[in-house]
Structure 1
Amino acid sequence: MLIVPEKLIADLVSAEDAFAAVEATFAAMARGEATNFPVVREALGEGRQYGFKSGLDRAGGMLGVKAGGYFPGNMARGMTNHQSTVYLFDPESGRPTAMVGGNLLTALRTAAASALSIDRLARPDAKVLGMVGAGHQAAFQLRAAARVRRFERVIGWNYHPDMLPKLGEVAAELGLPFEAVALERMVEADVIVTITSSPAASLLSAHVGPGTHLACMGTDTKGKQEVEPALLARARLFTDEVAQSVSIGEAQHAIAAGLVREADITPIGAVIAGLAPGRLGQEEITLFDGTGVGLQDLAVAGAAVRRAVERGLAASVEV
């Protein structure tokens, strides 16, 4: 079995690598060549979450699982709150083939999914990017969004405003003016990325104007919620996987309220594979419910392993 530790990932997998890997995975899902297995997630108390995301990509020859979760006390320990590891197996024999550090990969694959949705669904002339959330993953989201659209400025809101200057520094690195705003001013944004761990809606329907694209990336557990259900009722809905969207994603709340149906949600992979249309008009609101699927993790982990083998950096152990 090959081991690719967390400390090597930054030099092995770029944002561009993650984008390509996730794009191929979503298309394979839409063609029926890849299958996600049901998510297992448990609350450990004191805000800690632990679980498993897994799947089989027949087209890519990938079988595996990501194990990990959210541990809010980690920052005080000098570690990131999100901790995960990806395990890969030979799909024919079940033999373990690799263990890969999953922390940076999770941030890269989440940002890649968001950027893919912006690339395929946002208006080509989008100029203002709105960021709701300023935690660890927000910087990855901002950089990824800036790769697929020529934004002219960024506006941001966070429950804890003292965290926004760090996001402003990322915007400055990209040459983009940044302004901290009230949520009501998100109506100025052409694209809005939400990346919070909120248990209640922050972004309301009134905060979003016609023609906006939203990438809602924070809701991946039953009970989490970033946006008002009425907003989903106004939008054309897309997701990474419909089953997760309606059960643990942002759509869970709109479904429960009877505002949308499962049939109203289109997998983003169908758009990528040319099996379904994307944006249909300038005034249309599009919303991508990014729940995070196990196949994304396998795809980026596979890219890390291939690059590590090419460079002679993967350690090998007998199991």
Structure 2
Amino acid sequence: MHIVPESVISDLITPEAAFDAVEQVFAAMAAKDAYNFPVVREAIGHEDALYGFKGGFDSAGGSLGLKAGGYWPHNLEKRGLINHQSTVFLFDPDTGKVSAMVGGNLLTALRTAAASSVSIKHLARKDSEVLGMIGAGHQSVFQMKAAVKHRDFKKVIGWNYHPEMLSRLADCAAELGLPFEEVDLPTLGRDADVIISITSSFDPTLMDAHVSPGTHIACMGTDTKGKQEVEAALLKRARVFTDEVAQSISIGEAQHAIAEGLIEESDITEIGAVINGSHPGRTSDEDITLFDGTGVGLQDLATAAKVVELAVEKGVALEVDF
């Protein structure tokens, strides 16, 4: 069994490699060559934490396994640790024997950013110039850095529940050579060509009336029953895409629009179908496209498998007889 510690992962995998892994696994899902297992996601009644398991099998890529972990909201203030904590376990699909254990914290941020950037590549208008960011937590900088690789953005605008945290977005934009401006939500919805929402909110922040025609929105924070980042009416007006329909309607952003009868399951398309060319995706510059990024186990397995491959090549994987 190979062990790849969290401490070495940043030197192994690039955002580009994570993007390729996620794009490929989304395509495999749409082709029915890969599928996710039912998600276990529970509030454990301790430290206000959410803990769970995501797994799946990709017959095309040969990945079988699971990610265990979740969200500990007090980690940063109490312990100086990031709030998201996870570990990925990979198994040999031919024998069932465990093959690898991989630190999942950086991978979670990279694969989440990769998913939103896949949606930007395939759904955002080609002439998109203003990137809107809702949320300024740990994952926001990964999101911004991945997004700018797929459109020629000229400016970043942002909003956060805690405005004092917006310096994180401003610093990241400066690093990327882009101006940054703090704005209110109506302005962000009106002016942004692409909006990434990456919060842990249980109440909508971005409202339907805020959003202009032609906008692409990546909702990346809703991965639990009850969470919500945008008003449900926005999904009725948008063309809705997701990583996996089953998760979208149960724990994703679409859960609320479905519950209110605003859309049906058949109104949601897996983005892998756009990648594979079996769905046109955006059909007009006036379309509002919305990607409901719930985070599927296969994303974690694909990125973890790539990390193991690179770690073995570079001789930094620990090998144990397990």
- Report if TM-score (shorter chain) is over 0.5: yes
- Report the Cα distance in structure 2 between the residues aligned to 1:71 and 1:174, rounded to whole angstroms: 30
Please list the CA deviations of residues 220-262 of structure 1 after superposition, one character each: whole Å capped at 9, or x if unmatched. Answer: 0000000000100000000000000000000000000000000
Secondary structure, counterpart of 1:98 in structure 2: strand
Alpha-carbon offset, residue 47 of structure 1: 2.3
Amino acid at match of 2:27: A
Q: Which residue of 2 aligns with 1:137?
A: 139
Aligned 1:246-285 pairs, distance under 5 A: 246-285=249-288
Query: 1:222 and 2:222 equivalent?
Result: no
- Report the Cα distance in structure 1 between the residues aligned to 2:224 and 2:218, rounded to whole angstroms: 16
Secondary structure, counterpart of 1:124 in structure 2: coil
* CA RMSD, 1 decimal: 0.6
User: 2:113 is matched with which residue: 89, 93, 111?
Assistant: 111
Alpha-carbon offset, residue 3 of structure 1: 0.2
Q: Which residue of 2 aligns with 1:13?
A: 13
Secondary structure, counterpart of 1:11 in structure 2: coil
Please list the CA deviations of residues 78-112 of structure 1 after superposition, one character each: whole Å capped at 9, or x if unmatched. Answer: 21110000000001111000000000000000000
Secondary structure, counterpart of 2:22 in structure 1: helix
Runs of at least 4 residues off by over 6 Å: none
- Report the Cα distance in structure 2 between the residues aligned to 1:54 and 1:189, rounded to whole angstroms: 35
- Which runs of no fewer than 5 residues in structure 1 stay unpaired? none
Secondary structure, counterpart of 1:271 in structure 2: helix
Once the two structures are overlaid, the 10-residue window that deviates more, 33-42 or 70-79, is 70-79
Amino acid at match of 2:194: V
Secondary structure, counterpart of 2:149 in structure 1: helix
Secondary structure, counterpart of 1:100 in structure 2: strand
Alpha-carbon offset, residue 219 of structure 1: 0.1
Please list the CA deviations of residues 156-210 of structure 1 after superposition, one character each: whole Å capped at 9, or x if unmatched. Answer: 0000000001110000011111001111101110000000000100000111100
Query: 1:58 and 2:59 equivalent?
Result: yes
- Report the Cα distance in structure 1 between the residues aligned to 2:254 and 2:240, rounded to whole angstroms: 9
Identity %: 67
- Which runs of no fewer than 5 residues in structure 2 stay unpaired? none
Q: Which residue of 2 aligns with 1:165?
A: 167
Q: Which residue of 2 aligns with 1:49?
A: 50
Q: Which residue of 2 aligns with 1:74?
A: 75
Alpha-carbon offset, residue 64 of structure 1: 0.3
Secondary structure, counterpart of 1:301 in structure 2: helix
- Report the Cα distance in structure 2 between the residues aligned to 1:197 and 1:316, rounded to whole angstroms: 37
Amino acid at match of 2:26: F
Secondary structure, counterpart of 1:115 in structure 2: helix
TM-score, normalisation: structure 1: 0.99
Q: Which residue of 2 aligns with 1:151?
A: 153
Alpha-carbon offset, residue 275 of structure 1: 1.3
Secondary structure, counterpart of 2:44 in structure 1: strand
Q: Which residue of 2 aligns with 1:175?
A: 177
- Report the Cα distance in structure 1 between the residues aligned to 2:123 and 2:112, rounded to whole angstroms: 17
TM-score, normalisation: structure 2: 0.98
Q: Which residue of 2 aligns with 1:195?
A: 198
User: 1:92 is matched with which residue: 80, 86, 94?
Assistant: 94
Secondary structure, counterpart of 1:147 in structure 2: coil
Q: Which residue of 2 aligns with 1:185?
A: 187
- Report the Cα distance in structure 1 between the residues aligned to 2:137 and 2:19, rounded to whole angstroms: 21
Amino acid at match of 1:272: I
Residues matched between the structures, number: 319
